[in-house]
Amino acid sequence: MILRALSFLQLLYALGFMLFAVTLGRPADAAATDAAVVLTGGPGRIEHGVQVLRDRQAKRLLVSGTDPAVTKEDLARFLPRSDRLLRCCVDLDSTSVDTRSNAEEAGRWLAKNQYRSFRLITSDWHMLRARYEFHRVLGDKYQLVPDGVRSQPSFLILFGEYNKYLLRRVAVLLEL
């Protein structure tokens, strides 16, 4: 009986992983939002956030989780022809250290600026957990538009992220 139960759990785990791997976050449509929040930590995220501003799909951008030593001037060197946008429309957050604190800081920023909708920009493989954390912190106060940056994640990245997501769900369930 115990062996069957463990086999069933293992099968559920494997099916869940396969579902996770084939339903990664997708790029958002062209719908405009009040703001955009970029979570640092992966290639192409900040570039995509700046492009969202250029395309006028958001009025302002929060780059959450930046190193405290990073300045807008540093980003301007990294992103040619973006210095005007960076000066006028980008805020840097260096207080966030993980996805949960990204959501908390973004919530304060959204409230301060009185925004009602935002585009969440992160890697496609990170979107499920990011959306979960943002929903837990912000509830339904804001319209969240997921905007996954396409990537080529390895099996190890997918496996690690799936396990982080499951562990976070269990931790919340157990109120840890």
Q: What is the pLDDT of residue 66?
A: 95
Q: How deeply is 22 buried, as exposed, middle or buried, from its count of CB atoms within 10 A (0-12, 13-18, 19+)?
A: exposed
Report the sign of the C-alpha dihedral through residues 9, 13, 19, 25, in that order: positive
Tokens of 163: 């396990």
- Domains in the chain (CATH in brackets) are 25-173 (3.40.50.620)
Tell me the pairing of strands 143-149 and 35-39.
Answer: unpaired
Residue 9 predicted with pLDDT over 80: yes
Place of tokens 């908390």: 104
Residue-wise pLDDT for 87-136, tens only, equals 999 999 999 999 999 999 999 999 999 999 999 999 999 999 999 999 99
Residue 145 predicted with pLDDT over 90: yes
C-alpha closest to that of 141 among 173, 102, 111, 103? 111
Residue-wise pLDDT for 20-67, tens only, equals 999 999 999 878 999 999 999 999 999 999 999 999 999 999 999 999
Residue-wise pLDDT for 163-174, tens only, equals 999 999 999 999
The mean pLDDT value of the chain amounts to 95
Predicted confidence band at 1 (pLDDT cuts at 50, 70, 90)? confident
Q: What is the pLDDT of residue 165?
A: 97
